Structure formats: structure tokens, C-alpha cells
Amino acid sequence: TIAFWNGDYLPLDEIRVSPLDRGFLFADGLYEVAAAYQGRLFEPQAHIRRLQRGLAELRIDTGWSDADWLTLMEEMLRRSGLQGDQAVYIQVTRGASTSRGHAFPAGVKPTVFAMPSALKRPPESWRSGGVAAITTPDIRWSRCDLKTVGLLGSVLAQQKAVEQGVVDAIQLRDGLVTEGAATNVFVVRDGAIATPKADHRILPGITRAVVLEIAAEAGTPVAERDVAANELATADEVWITSTSKEVTAVTRIDGRPVGTGKPGPVWTAIDARFQQRIGR
């Protein structure tokens, strides 16, 4: 695999990271993952906007323009040698300093890393039967709107899901649904869609934004609002969304069926439009 490392294109296994890189020491950095379907990036500007906003919030100054990020993503696709659908991973850290200290070091240059991979799309069984999930307390910090590489809360949530043989862990904070381990959550009741509003408690997912757009186009009532934890039990449908999981119906939560226990009609309608948007 060819990867990007601070200006060079190198084989992934030749890249060496400094132990003083602040990404390593402090998780002082951000990442992005974008999909490309048959060579075409999906919503690249939205990913770039989210990255640039995060970098500005953390005061990491790369000097890179939106066009520079787009070029990087396209170069990754071009140089990957992969056929078919791909994912591009980008990571930016505050950089490698000369000593360890919490506050921003002076004169440090951000580390920019990117790598391509084959995009693993949701299996057919997820589309026909949906997936199972558990709920788990949201133990993360209070700036979940930033896509930081500090992912330990999500790591532990995802591991708990794996150990229970399910696909995702829906996180709950103060009696409300926040999001999955690496997904946004939607609920449907009586034909109306709801999803937690995009504040500091969740990552503003690009897939989430596309689903909100699609729902509005389709004329389906949709609200961004607080979603109570107990709405998961009374919903007709629950979905999770992300770049890699697309729009996936959750048909069991904590061992109990959601609605009929099958992907519902609102999911079917929204997913059909989503598949169209990604060129399927």
C-alpha cells in the first residue's frame, strides 16, 4: 500500500512515527474517512469541511487549503492500485515536538498522514435482516463533535459489541441516545424520523447529513432533537449510519426485536434513495 507521509508518497510499512509525535503521546490529532465509489469520492467537500473545522477548533494550522485536501484524497485513490470501491483515511496531528509537555509546543509542524484501502461495504445479510446492537453508557468526553484520534471510548464500546456478538453499541448519556460506537443513530415512529441534534455530544456524520437531506427530499417528516433512551424500545425502526455502514437497519437491541424485527418500510425507502446517491 502506498501512503502519504508529510509530503511524500511511501510504502505504508516504511513509514516511521516519532514517539514524540503528539498523536502518539496525547491523541492530539484528528482523522477523516471518506468513501469513493467506483473512483468517485462521495461528499468530499463535506469531509474536508469537517476536517478543516476540527483543525481550526484545535488550532492545528496545516496551511492546507480545501483544494489541497481534495488533491490528497484523489492522489490516494489514484496511487492505491485498487479497483472498485475505496476508502481514504486521513490523519493530522499537532506534530512531533522535542520533549513531552501538555501545552502546544512552539514551532511544531503538523504531521499529515493518509492511506487508501478497499471499501468494505455492508454485507447483503445486513440489508435483508438488519443487524443487532446493544446499548452501553457513553463514557466519552464532551467534545464528541471533533473527530479526534482519541477513540478509547469508542474502542471499548465496539469491543463490548463484538464480545456480545452484535454489530454496534448504541451509547446513552443522561437518559438520551448519543450515537453508536462509530455511527449516528436514527429512530422512526409512526412514519416520522428523528436523530439526535448535532451538538457537542455527537459527531456530525456525513452520512447522517445525507440521510437528513434525502428524508426532506422524500417528504418524510424528520427532526433533529433529543432522542430519549426509551425511544429505542418503542420505535418502529432504528437505523445506524456511517461511511462504511451506509444506512443499516438495527432490528434487535439488547436482545429484543425492534418493531417487527425486520428492516422497516421507511428504511427501505430511504435506503433506496441513498443507494442511488452513491451510484448503486
Catalytic site residue 147? yes
Please say which residue, 20 or 70, places its beta carbon nearer to ligand PLP.
70
- Cα distance between the two ends of the chain: 27
Residue 54's SS3 state is: helix
Residue 169's SS3 state is: strand
Give CA–CA dist 280/265, Å, rounded.
19
Please say which residue, 91 or 184, places its beta carbon nearer to ligand PLP.
184
Please say which residue, 33 or 112, places its beta carbon nearer to ligand PLP.
33
Pairing of strands 111-118, 2-5: antiparallel
In the complex, minimum distance from the CB of residue 130 to ligand PLP, in angstroms, rounded to a whole number? 18
Interaction between residue 171 and ligand PLP (CB under 6 A): no
Question: Contact region for ligand PLP (CB under 6 A) — 65-73, 84-92, 157-165, 239-247?
Answer: 239-247
Interaction between residue 182 and ligand PLP (CB under 6 A): yes
Please say which residue, 22 or 208, places its beta carbon nearer to ligand PLP.
208
Give CA–CA dist 221/47, Å, rounded.
26
Find out whether 70 and 44 touch, Cβ atoms under 8 Å.
yes
| CB-count burial class (<10 Å; 0-12, 13-18, 19+) for 262 | middle
Q: Which of 51, 119, 134, 206 binds ligand PLP (CB under 6 A)?
A: 206
Interaction between residue 29 and ligand PLP (CB under 6 A): no
Q: Which of 109, 120, 147, 197 is catalytic?
A: 147
In the complex, minimum distance from the CB of residue 181 to ligand PLP, in angstroms, rounded to a whole number? 7
Give the catalytic positions in this structure.
147
